[in-house]
């Protein structure tokens, strides 16, 4: 027997991450409650730019994804990796840098989003300096994590570690490629991709943020903490291996299902659908594996709130991963896309799966980290029931709202006219459901408050001496040392015989075991698995011209329109308005000609949107006089009675700064947008002239005077330009491949 080494786990860092989870969980949920209230009751926008829906919604989504779920992942990873590797974290300083870097990043992110600094790419809204900072923090995490694995005292890497590895490498790849952008200044950059390509890269990222932030690491937590809490090993380890590899091979392909019937080439969308449907079996394999781990322990589930949270969390994983493939089927998606159905779907995942798994882990971990007992089991049980009720109160009305609105959008009179031609009718019908959602969300947060109280009291009774837990384990033998055991003495090291013996021993122990013992090889294989899908979908769309046919009549924006577009992005208009009309009669009747791929070639980034809380704007240009837009921005209800849109009255007062016009155009030329030297040189003057012209027209239509140096004219200029180019010249240069929808 080898002499055991004694070492201490770093529990202080785990405690920090656990508290950060709770802090950001509360902030993210409160932001969610606020935006839910804004949808039910528009005055909650308070006419305060920082609190309008368009700016606050990304604070909610990013706060929950990276603040709440991100921190529970790190809590679990730092706690379980040390134990699974029987080693302290690689480096305490890196651990601290990771912790503080992440928290400061989220805080800076929340503030910058409220200030209107955004790229408008969903769940990747943060501007480039923060993107760079996040990359640095992630690298610190990766070094710390892989360093720990390298120093492990347990040869085999338990399945939870593989899920963590997949997360670390995939998130890095996704984040870097989706965030590639050219900076204009410290707070503004433009995506290097445009239109169709940007949409594809964004939703390749967006869907895999769901896969590799909200799913795989939480599965890692499930495979560690569920067996711990149930005090029995996972139901089938073999199934967990299949679960892992199938998810990693398939998940990465699914992104294009977010773009069905859009201007994305049909082949990419079909691949996305096929792979999304294929995701069902592995996901359910994982759910079954989790639930069956509790077999014979259901009596404990009755007693133990931790297991209650896990049982329902895993069940929600199963439900979400059933609903996801269903929604990815094109015919279902034709109804569900742009509606609240998607919102309900994602919330069944975040509230049910992420939230409840996080609560289970916290209730299990906090007493252990503070070396005490949980203050109150009955409070935790109450949290469970209130949280479950809150989810019902959230999900049922929002599912209903989504399907109701989707059906209303496509309803026709027998005469062939739209049954609800006025978009706002379809909004007013679902506002009552928005109120019920506010109630459901408030209940869920009430549960969270119980957790905070319970954790605070638990910590209050915690041990005074919180020194790190001591552990001991024999050191790991070197890889070759272990394998030469039993090698006959006459076989010399470093000969072919020796190598052959090593190889045969490795294979004899099983292919996968050899793999598990080799983190580097394992990681490389994981990267390969996720790369194949990414490359097959993305490279042809970027490199093959026929996938995005150009339209001769589509021209770049004028400098003022470009400025207006920046305001549109900054205010988060895309959070409520799509700019992508699908080729359905119900949509072309309502909005006009369906959107073509070539129309958004100069859109860095694309603005197709994902939800229609308000109507699509792809053909808004020249639909109304300038004054209509001014009045509408000042008070949306003056032009659209019943509208739930926030007021943007400050745009009529805020000064228009056109000083960067030339720089913007020059940057655009680097992204292959064709502006001439003369246009770049005269950009500011041209912008002013157009602003004067629009202001004059507003005045002549009976509107307010003196708007030529206000932001509103830039926004009006942009809105009046959206989607008009193809109307101007009927001679489209559309090759046959574009006709595949």
Partner 1 sequence: MMRDVMESAGLTIYAEIGLILLFVTFLFAVARTMTRKREYYDKLARIPLDDELSSDSAGSTKEPSEV
Residues in contact with partner 1 by the rule CB under 8 A = 1, 4, 9, 80, 83-84, 86, 153-154, 156, 158, 160, 223-224, 227-228, 231-234, 236-238, 241-242, 245-246, 249, 304, 306, 363-364, 367-368, 371-374, 377, 469-474, 510-513, 529, 532, 535-536, 539-540, 543-546
- C-beta of 472 vs 676, nearer to partner 1: 472
Closest distance of CB 211 from partner 1, Å = 17
Beta pairing class for 470-473 and 5-8: antiparallel
Strand boundaries in 33-145, DSSP class E: none
Closest distance of CB 207 from partner 1, Å = 19
- What does the alpha-carbon distance between residue 665 and residue 677 come to, in Å, rounded to a whole number? 9
Closest distance of CB 646 from partner 1, Å = 42
- What does the alpha-carbon distance between residue 352 and residue 358 come to, in Å, rounded to a whole number? 10
- What does the alpha-carbon distance between residue 674 and residue 672 come to, in Å, rounded to a whole number? 6
Closest distance of CB 448 from partner 1, Å = 19
Closest distance of CB 298 from partner 1, Å = 18
Give yes or no for a contact between 723 and 592, defined as CB atoms under 8 angstroms apart.
yes
- C-beta of 155 vs 728, nearer to partner 1: 155
- C-beta of 152 vs 619, nearer to partner 1: 152
Closest distance of CB 239 from partner 1, Å = 9
Closest distance of CB 353 from partner 1, Å = 20
- C-beta of 129 vs 540, nearer to partner 1: 540
Calculate the CA 96 to chain-centre distance. Answer: 25
- What does the alpha-carbon distance between residue 149 and residue 522 come to, in Å, rounded to a whole number? 12
- C-beta of 330 vs 513, nearer to partner 1: 513
Token match 């952008």: residue? 181
- C-beta of 251 vs 434, nearer to partner 1: 251
- What does the alpha-carbon distance between residue 78 and residue 64 come to, in Å, rounded to a whole number? 20
- What does the alpha-carbon distance between residue 722 and residue 193 come to, in Å, rounded to a whole number? 19
- C-beta of 83 vs 429, nearer to partner 1: 83
- C-beta of 9 vs 34, nearer to partner 1: 9
The residue among 162, 150, 64 whose CA lies nearest residue 109 is 64
A 10 A CB-CB count for 452 gives 14
- C-beta of 117 vs 370, nearer to partner 1: 370
Rg (CA), the chain: 28
The residue among 30, 383, 217 whose CA lies nearest residue 374 is 383
Angle at 203 between CA 202 and CA 205, to 5 degrees: 70
Task: Kindly list the distances between the CA atom of residue 722 and the CA atoms of 22, 608, 623, 699, in Å, as whole numbers in the listed order.
Answer: 43, 12, 10, 22
- What does the alpha-carbon distance between residue 583 and residue 414 come to, in Å, rounded to a whole number? 21
- C-beta of 223 vs 399, nearer to partner 1: 223
Phi, psi (5° rounding) for residue 522?
-60, -45
Give yes or no for a contact between 153 and 87, defined as CB atoms under 8 angstroms apart.
yes
Closest distance of CB 24 from partner 1, Å = 24
SS3 55: helix
- C-beta of 449 vs 528, nearer to partner 1: 528
For 204-270, give the DSSP string: HHHHHHHHHTTTHHHHHHHHHHHHHHHTS--S-HHHHHHHHHHHHHHHTT-GGGGGTTSSS-HHHHH
Closest distance of CB 739 from partner 1, Å = 19
Give yes or no for a contact between 662 and 678, defined as CB atoms under 8 angstroms apart.
no
- C-beta of 84 vs 181, nearer to partner 1: 84
- C-beta of 184 vs 737, nearer to partner 1: 737
- What does the alpha-carbon distance between residue 512 and residue 516 come to, in Å, rounded to a whole number? 6
Closest distance of CB 306 from partner 1, Å = 7
Closest distance of CB 327 from partner 1, Å = 24
- C-beta of 232 vs 498, nearer to partner 1: 232
For 570-585, give the DSSP string: HTTGGGT------S-H
Contacts of 621 (CB under 8 A, 6+ apart): 719, 720, 721, 722, 723, 724
Closest distance of CB 514 from partner 1, Å = 10
Closest distance of CB 295 from partner 1, Å = 14
Closest distance of CB 530 from partner 1, Å = 11
CA quadruple 566, 569, 573, 579: dihedral, nearest 10: 90
């Amino acid at each position: 027997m080898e002499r055991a080494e004694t070492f201490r786990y770093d529990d202080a860092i785990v405690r920090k991450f656990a508290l950060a989870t709770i802090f950001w969980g509360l902030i993210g949920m409160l932001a969610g409650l606020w935006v839910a209230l804004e949808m039910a009751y528009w005055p909650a926008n308070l006419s305060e730019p920082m609190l309008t829906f368009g700016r606050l919604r990304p604070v909610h989504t990013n706060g929950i994804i990276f603040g709440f779920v991100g921190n529970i992942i790190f809590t679990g990873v730092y706690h379980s990796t040390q134990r699974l590797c029987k080693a302290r974290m690689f480096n305490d300083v890196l651990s601290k840098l990771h912790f503080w870097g992440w928290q400061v990043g989220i805080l800076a992110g929340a503030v910058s989003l409220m200030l209107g600094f955004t790229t408008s790419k969903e769940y990747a809204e943060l501007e480039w300096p923060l993107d760079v900072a996040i990359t640095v923090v992630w690298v610190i995490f990766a070094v710390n994590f892989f360093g720990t694995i390298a120093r492990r005292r347990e040869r085999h890497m338990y399945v939870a570690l593989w899920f963590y590895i997949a997360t670390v490498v995939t998130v890095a790849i996704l984040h870097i490629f989706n965030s590639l952008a050219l900076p204009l200044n410290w707070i503004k950059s433009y995506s290097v991709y445009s239109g169709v390509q940007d949409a594809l890269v964004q939703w390749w990222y967006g869907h895999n943020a769901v896969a590799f932030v909200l799913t795989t690491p939480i599965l890692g937590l499930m495979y560690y903490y569920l067996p711990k809490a149930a005090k029995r090993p996972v139901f089938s380890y073999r199934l967990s291996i299949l679960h892992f590899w199938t998810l990693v091979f398939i998940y990465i392909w699914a992104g294009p299902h977010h773009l069905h019937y859009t201007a994305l080439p049909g082949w990419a969308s079909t691949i996305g659908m096929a792979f999304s449907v294929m995701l069902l079996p592995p996901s359910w394999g994982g759910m079954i594996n989790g639930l069956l781990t509790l077999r014979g322990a259901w009596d404990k589930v009755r007693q133990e709130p931790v297991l209650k949270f896990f049982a329902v969390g895993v069940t929600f994983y199963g439900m979400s991963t059933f609903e996801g493939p269903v929604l990815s089927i094109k015919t279902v998606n034709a109804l569900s896309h742009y509606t609240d159905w998607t919102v309900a779907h994602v919330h069944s995942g975040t509230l049910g799966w992420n939230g409840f798994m996080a609560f289970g882990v916290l209730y299990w971990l906090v007493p252990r980290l503070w070396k005490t007992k949980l203050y109150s089991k009955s409070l935790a049980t109450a949290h469970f029931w209130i949280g479950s009720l809150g989810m019902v109160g959230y999900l049922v009305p929002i599912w209903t709202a989504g399907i109701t609105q989707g059906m209303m959008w496509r309803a026709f009179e027998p005469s062939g006219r739209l049954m609800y031609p006025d978009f706002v009718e379809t909004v007013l019908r679902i506002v009552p459901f928005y109120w019920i959602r506010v109630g459901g969300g408030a209940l869920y947060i009430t549960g969270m408050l119980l957790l905070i109280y319970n954790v605070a009291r638990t910590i209050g009774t915690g041990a005074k001496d919180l020194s790190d837990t001591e552990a001991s384990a024999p050191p790991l033998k070197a890889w070759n040392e272990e394998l030469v055991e039993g090698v006959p003495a006459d076989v010399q090291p470093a000969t072919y015989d020796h190598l052959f013996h090593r190889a045969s021993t490795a294979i004899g122990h099983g292919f996968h075991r050899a793999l598990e013992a080799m983190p580097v090889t394992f990681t490389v294989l994981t990267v390969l698995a996720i790369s194949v899908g990414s490359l097959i979908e993305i490279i042809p769309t970027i490199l093959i011209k026929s996938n995005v046919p150009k339209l001769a009549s589509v021209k770049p924006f004028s400098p003022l329109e470009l400025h207006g577009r920046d305001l549109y992005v900054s205010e988060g208009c895309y959070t409520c308005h799509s700019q992508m009309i699908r080729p359905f009669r119900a949509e072309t009747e309502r909005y006009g000609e369906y959107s073509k791929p070539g129309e958004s070639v100069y859109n860095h980034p694309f603005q197709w949107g994902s939800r229609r809380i308000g109507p699509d704007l792809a053909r808004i240009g020249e639909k109304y006089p300038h004054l209509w837009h001014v009045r509408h921005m000042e008070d949306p209800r003056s032009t659209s009675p019943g509208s739930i849109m926030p007021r943007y009255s400050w745009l009529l007062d805020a000064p228009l700064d056109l000083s960067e016009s030339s720089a913007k155009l020059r940057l655009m030329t680097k992204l292959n947008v064709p502006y001439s030297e003369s246009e770049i040189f005269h950009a500011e003057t041209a912008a002013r002239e157009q602003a004067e012209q629009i202001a004059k027209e507003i005045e002549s239509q009976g509107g307010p005077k003196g708007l030529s140096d206000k932001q509103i004219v830039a926004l009006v200029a942009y809105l009046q330009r959206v989607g008009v180019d193809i109307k101007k010249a009927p001679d489209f240069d559309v090759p046959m491949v574009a006709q595949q929808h």
